[in-house]
Structure 1
Amino acid sequence: MRLARMGSMFPTRLSFLRSLIRRLAAEKVTVTRAVWQMDAGGFGHAVYSLRLGGHEYALVAVSSDLPADQRTDRVIATAWDSAFVLYDGIPEAAEIDRIVATAPRQEAARFTERDLILSRANKSLRLFAHVTQALQEGRQPDPEMIRNVGYLMRTTAVYGNGKFGIADRHLIAQRPGLEGPFAAEMLTVWLIRHFTHDLAEHVGGGRLDRALKRHLGIGNATGLGMAPFLVTHPVLLNNWMQARETALARVRALPRLTSAQQDRLHLLADRVAAHLREWQVPDPAHHARIVALRGDWETACNALDLSGLRPLDAAIHRVRAASLDVQELMAGLILEPFGDLVDDLAATMGDPFGPLCAPLPDTVELRARIARDFRWALAPDYDAPEACGQFWYVSAAKQEPRLGRRFAEEGADQETPLDIGRRVKALYQDLEGENAPLSDFLSRHPDHALAAERVAMAGRYPYGEIRDNLIAEDCLPIDMLRCKLAFFGAAKFDPKSDRWTRITLCQGAPLADELGPGADDWWLPVFAS
C-alpha cells in the first residue's frame, strides 16, 4: 500500500473492464444501433441499445461540430466533440430529444435518474482525419498510426453516482451486470468505443479492417479529480486489494503446472514483451522507465522456470530484487491463465454495505491500535516543510479536487482532510496519558473523530489506507491515478505531469459482435494488422 508500488500497477484479469466483458460474453449480449441520425460530416446523434442482467440500457451519443478554439481536454472546457448518456431503459423520442439538447452542455445542464452515466470525449484529430481520409480513398489507414495512437477519441470525464442529477449509485448497485465497481462506467466506455468506430466508417464511407478496429480503444485524459477517491473510499480500496492478494495467494499455492499451462504463461510473457515495445510515450523520464522495464522483463523471463514445485510462488520470489514495475507485471502474468481459480473474486470487489466495524472502546485500546497498525503514519515530522508542503482542496469554480503548494499558494485554510497520516499522528500524541472511554475523549476532541474512525477500520480493512504521506512535498498524485486506472483496466499510461495522464481503455477488447469463446483473451494486447 505504498505509493511507489501503487504507481507501478498494471491491469489484470480482475480489472473492471475485464469482468464486464466476461459478463457480456456469458450473457451473449447483442448491441443494436437503434438510431443513426448523422450528416455527412458525422454530426448528429445515435442510440445504441442492449440487454444485460435482465435490464435494457441505451447509449445516446451526440456528435457536435467543435470549433478549433474551443478544443481542450482540460476540465475548464465547456464544449467537446461528443457527449454521451447511458440511459436506463430504451428512450422514447422525447427522451432522446432531451438528451440531445442537454448532454453537450454537461455540467451546465441537469439530468434525471434515468440518466445513469454522463460522459464527453474529444477526437484524436490527426488519427481521426487520417482514418476517414483513407476510407474515403478506398484504402485502409496506416497500421503504424493506429499502433502509435490507439484510439479515435479520448474521454475527459465519465461521471456517475448522482452528479448533475443523474442516478445515484444505490439505484443500480444491486442490478445484475452493474453491481461491480464502476461497471456502468465501463459499459459506457465500451459502447463509446463502438460509436467511434461507426462514426469513422460513416464519415469515411468504408469499413475498417477488423484487426485495426479491434486495436482502436478509447483514450482518456485523467487528472487530480480521480486521486482522492482512493482515500475517501477505504472499504472499496481494501476490497480491490484484498481480491488481488487473495487471487495471487491462490495461484502461488498451485503445486505443479501442466505443460499446457507452462506454454500459455511463456506465450503471455512474450506478449508482455511485445506490448512493452509498442508502449511509446513522449515524456523522457517515463520513456526511460519503459526502456528499463523492457530489459528487466527480458531478464525476468529468461529466469522464469515453471517446471518445479510451486512454480508461480517461485516466480514471484525471483523478481523480489527487481523493479516494482517488473514485480507488478509478474503478478499480472501469473494470474492471467487461471480464471477458473480467481474470477469469482471479482464479485467481492464492491462495497454494498459501507464500513462494518465497531468503534474502539477506550483511549488505551485506540493508542495501542495506532502503535500496531499505523507506524507508517507516526514516522514523518509533519511540521517539517517537506512533510507538509502540499494540501488538497476542492476548486470552487469546477468543484473538482486540486493540490496546492502550502508555502507558495493561498487556500490552505480550505484544505480537505486527505492527510490521514498527519491526523493519526496528532491523535496519537493527544492520547498520551489518556485513560477514558473513547466517547468521552471524542466529545472533548471532536477534531480527532475522522482519525479515530480510520484506526478502528484498519483492523477489519487492512488494505484500506495508502501508507504514505499524501501532503509531503514529494507525494506524486500520478501514483494514485495509475493504481485506480489499472483496476479499471487501463494500459499504456502516458503521463503529462505528476498530476495527469492519458491512457487507453478497451484496446484489444472484443468488438460488439465478438462476444463469444475467447472474448476474454486481451490482457496487454499486441497490435496485429
Structure 2
Amino acid sequence: MMRLAAIKASLRGPNALPLRPAEQVMDLERLGAMHQSRLSFMRTLVRRIMLERWQVNIARQELCAEGYGTLIYEINTPQGLFSFVIFSNYLSPEERNDRVIASKWDLTMALVEGRIEDEYLAFLRQNVPLQEAGRVDSRVFVLSRANRSARNFDYVVAQLSKGEQPDVARIAEVGYLYRTTAVYGSGKLGMADWDKVCSRFPDFARPFAAEMFACFMLRNFSLLQVEHIARQRDPQQFTPMKLELKRYFGIGNSTGLGMAPYLINHPILINRWIEMRELALAQVRALGHIDEGVRWRLGELLGRCSQHIAETVTEDAWQSNNNRRVIEDLAKLREQAGVGLESWNDLLAWSEQHCSLQGQELLVSVMLELYPQLVDGLDEYYCAEEFLDLDPLMPLQQLKAVIEQRYAWTLKIDFSDPKNRDIFWYRSEDKMEPRLGKCELDDGREKQMALGVGYAVFRCYQLLCQYIEEFPEHTTARFMVARPKLRGIVRRIQSMNRCVYGDIQANLLAHDILPMHLLRCKLSFFGVSKFDPRSRLWVRNTMYQGAPLLEDIGKTYNDDWFMPLAPTVGGND
C-alpha cells in the first residue's frame, strides 16, 4: 500500500490536478463507453504469466483424430501447481446453442488445484460436462464451456490439412475458433469460494484472475486442436499455422444480463477499480514536457485504434454508428495532437468538447498505454474489503447532507413519473439468470432484485426528511429503530461516502435504461474488444486477440497487444 499512498500524496497540493469528479466518471453512459487498457484483467494476467515465466505443459493428451477426448495441462507458477482439464465431445449442429438454457457443448473445462489423479479425473468427467447440472468440490476454481465457431473452425482445419494458411480477411470477420458462453467461479456449484482463492493462492488472488486464465487456456487449446485434427486428416499435406495468425485468434464471448448485477452488488470493489484507473490517468495528466518519442507513439496508437475499430464487424446499427463516430474522433485527435500538444490535460479537455464519450474514454486508454511505468502495478490494489458498515452515531443532519452531496443525482429524478419506475429486475426460476420485466406488462414485481439503488436512496431521503422534522437531534441509530427496513440502504449510503467514486449514477428502473452500458463497463475491465451487440440485452465480443501464445513464454515480452490489427502474413516463421 506504500506505493498507492505515495501516488495519492503526489496528487495533492495547490498545483496538483484533481481526479475527475464522480458525477462525470460514474455516469452510466460514460462507464459504458470505456475501453480495454493496460489495467484490464487480461492484460495484467498475461503480463504476470510472461514476466514470471509460468511453465505450462501437457500432462495428458487423449484426443482422437477428430479432436474428441481429454486433455490436461499442468501449470507450474511461482506459488503452486495447477491443472486445466478439457473434455471435448461431439456436438451435433442441432444441439449447438449459445444460450444459457443449453445443456451440451463442444468443450467443457475446469481449472483445478494440484495434479489430477485418475480417480479425480473420473470424478471430473462425471460432473464437468454437466456444468450447472453437476457438482464439483473446492479443488476446482473455475468451470466453463465453449462452442466452436461455425464460420471458422472447420474452415481453418480444412486449410491447414491441405497445406494452406487461413485467409486473414475471413479471420478478421470472426476472430476466434471457440466462444465461451459462461465462466463460473467464486463458490458456485461447489467450487472454491473467493476467500479461499485469495488467501491461499496468490497467483489468482486478484478479481477474476482464475476466470481470465481459463479463457486464456481455452484459446491456446483451440489452436492446438485445429492443428491436431488437420494433421490427422492429412499428415503429408498438413502445414502448421503461422504464429502471427495464431496470435490473431482470440476467444469469442457472449455476455448477457448475468453480468449486470455484479456492478451494483459490489459497489466498493467497482469503486476501487475505477479509482485505480483514475489515479493512473491523473498521474499522466500531471506530467510536464511531452517528448517527440511520446508524440510519435501517440499518433501510432491513435492510428492503430482507428484501424482496429474499422476491422470490427457488427450488424448492429447502434454499434456501427458508435464505431464510425469513434473513428472520426480519432482522426480529430491525431490532427489536434499534431498541431501542438502542450499537455495531456489540454488534450483531454479538448476531447471532452469535441469528441463522443467513446472517443474521450478511448483517449484515456491510449494515454495509459503510453506510460507503463506509471500504470503497471496499480492492479495490485484491485482487491477491497467489501463491508458496508452502519455508523449508528452519525447525526441525522449529517446523513441528510451526505445524501444531498453524494447522491444528488437521485434527488433530480422524478420517481412519480411511471416511466422512471417502469422496469424491474428478477431472476428466472429455470437458470437463475437475471431478466428484465416491465411493471405494466409482467407479473413478478414482488420478487424483483434490489438493483434500484437510486430509488431506494430517494425513498430513504423522503422518509429521513419527515423524521428529521420531528426529531432533528436524533442519530442514525434512532432512525433505524423507527425504520428498520431502511438499514440496508443507509449502510450503503454511509459506506459509499467513504469512497472516492461510489455508486454508478443511473436509475436502473427507468423505461429507457440500456443494460448494454453495464455490460460494456465490466467487459472493459476484463479487457475484451470488438463489441457486437445482438440486442440491447447481450453482446458478443472477443478476448485475448493479439495476446502472446504459450510458446511465447520465456521469450522477450514487450506487452504491446493493445487494439490488435489483422496481420500481414508473409513467409514462414
Instruction: Judge same fold: TM > 0.5, yes or no.
Output: yes
- Of 418, 433, 442, which residue of structure 1 is paired with 2:480? 442
Residues 251-400 of structure 1 aligned to structure 2 (within 5 Å): 251-305=284-338, 308-309=341-342, 311-321=343-353, 322-352=355-385, 354-355=387-388, 358=391, 361-400=394-433
3-state secondary structure, aligned to 2:143 = strand
Aligned match for 2:153, one of 128, 139, 147: 128
Q: Which runs of 5+ in 1 are unaligned?
A: none
Q: Is 1:157 aligned to residue 182 of structure 2?
A: yes
Residue number in structure 2 paired with 1:62: 87
Cα distance in 2 for partners of 1:361, 1:289 equals 46
Q: Which amino acid aligns with 2:345?
A: D
Match of 1:455 among 486, 489, 493: 493
In structure 1, what is the equivalent of residue 31 of structure 2?
6
SS in 2 for 1:403: strand
Identity of aligned residues (%): 37
Would you say the 8 A contact 1:50–1:56 is kept in 2? yes
Runs of 4+ residues over 6 Å off in structure 1 = none
Q: What does 1:213-224 align with in structure 2 at a 5 Å threshold? A: 213-224=246-257
How far did residue 259 of structure 1 move? 2.3
> Aligned partners of 2:357 and 2:483: how far apart in 1?
41
Out of 192, 212, 216, the residue aligned to residue 186 of structure 1 is 212
My pick for the range that moved more, 347-356 or 111-120, is 347-356
Matched, 1:102 2:134: no
Kindly indicate whether the alpha-carbon contact (under 8 Å) linking 2:39 and 2:379 is maintained by their aligned counterparts in 1.
yes
Tell me the residue number matched to 2:40.
15
Determine helix, strand or coil for the equivalent of 2:152.
helix
What CA distance in whole angstroms lies between the structure 2 residues aligned with 1:46 and 1:463?
A: 45
Distance 1:357 1:123 in 2: 49
Aligned counterparts of 2:379 and 2:214: Cα–Cα separation in 1:
19
Are 2:177 and 1:138 equivalent residues in the alignment? no
Hey, what's the Cα distance between the residues in 1 that align with 2:339 and 2:551? 36
Rate the CA distance shift 1:208–1:421 in 2: closer, same or farther, 3 A: same
Cα separation, 2, equivalents of 1:166 and 1:458? 30
RMSD of equivalent CA atoms: 1.5
Equivalent residues of 1:53, 1:176 under 8 A apart: no
Cα shift at 1:243: 0.2
Question: Which residue in the other structure is 1:508 paired with?
Answer: 546
Matched, 1:200 2:200: no
Q: Identify the residue that residue 525 of structure 1 maps to in structure 2.
A: 564
SS in 1 for 2:531: strand
Q: Secondary structure at the match of 1:172?
A: helix
- 5 Å matches for 1:242-253? 242-253=275-286
**Residue 505 (structure 2) aligns with:** 467
- Checking the alignment, whether the CA contact within 8 Å between 1:38 and 1:46 is kept in structure 2 is yes
SS at match of 1:119: strand
Matched residue type, 1:517? T
Q: Is the 8 A contact 2:112 2:141 kept in 1?
A: yes
Equivalent residues of 1:156, 1:222 under 8 A apart: yes
2:320 is paired with a residue of what secondary structure?
Answer: helix
Report which stretch shifted further, 465-474 or 382-391.
382-391
Aligned mates of 1:393, 1:52 — CA distance in 2: 41
Shift of residue 456, structure 1, vs aligned partner:
0.3
- What amino acid maps onto 2:160 in structure 1? L
Contact kept in structure 1, 2:426 and 2:436, CA below 8 Å: yes
Residues of 2 paired with 1:443 and 1:109: CA distance?
A: 44
2-structure distance, mates of 1:444, 1:477? 35
Deviates more, 1:352-361 or 1:427-436: 352-361
Instruction: Give distance in 2, aligned partners of 1:378 and 1:234.
Output: 20
Q: Decide whether aligned partners of structure 1 residues 501 and 359 sit closer, same or farther in structure 2, where only a CA change above 3 A counts.
A: farther
Cα pair distance change 1:383/1:231, threshold 3 Å: same
User: 3-state DSSP class of the match of 1:475?
Assistant: coil
Distance 1:360 1:69, change over 3 A: farther
Q: Deviations over 1:256-295 (max 9, x none)?
A: 1232222222211111111111112011221122122212
Question: What CA distance in whole angstroms lies between the structure 1 residues aligned with 2:386 and 2:324?
Answer: 44
Alignment of 1:21-60 (within 5 A): 21-60=46-85
2:151 partner SS: helix
Contact persistence 2:151–2:174 (CA under 8 A) = no
- Counterpart residue identity of residue 72, structure 1: N
Q: Distance in 2 between the 1:316 and 1:296 partners?
A: 12
What is the SS of the residue equivalent to 2:557? coil
Moved more, 27-36 or 92-101: 92-101
TM-score scaled by length of structure 2: 0.90
Do the aligned partners of residues 331 and 357 (structure 1) sit closer, same or farther apart at CA in structure 2, a change above 3 Å counting? Answer: farther
Please say if residues 9 and 329 of structure 1, whose CA atoms lie closer than 8 Å, have aligned partners that are also in contact. Answer: yes
| Change beyond 3 A, Cα 1:305–1:458 | farther
How far is 1:15 from its partner?
0.3
Supply the distance in 2 between the matched residues of 1:153 and 1:465 (Cα, whole angstroms): 35
Tell me the CA shift for residue 67 of structure 1.
1.9
Counterpart CA distance in 1 for 2:478 and 2:496 is 22
Q: How many matched pairs?
A: 528
- What secondary structure sits across from 2:86 in the alignment? strand
TM-score, length-scaled by structure 1:
0.97
> Per the alignment, in what secondary structure is the counterpart of residue 552 of structure 2?
coil
Distance 1:526 1:134 in 2: 22
Of 115, 118, 122, the residue aligned with 1:93 is: 118
The answer (yes or no) to whether the contact 1:15–1:489 under 8 Å persists in 2 is yes
CA distance in 1, matches of 2:385, 2:84: 26
Aligned to 1:177, what secondary structure does the other structure show? Answer: helix
C-alpha displacement at 1:458, in angstroms? 2.3
Instruction: Name stretches of at least 5 consecutive residues in structure 2 with no aligned partner.
Output: 1-25, 232-237
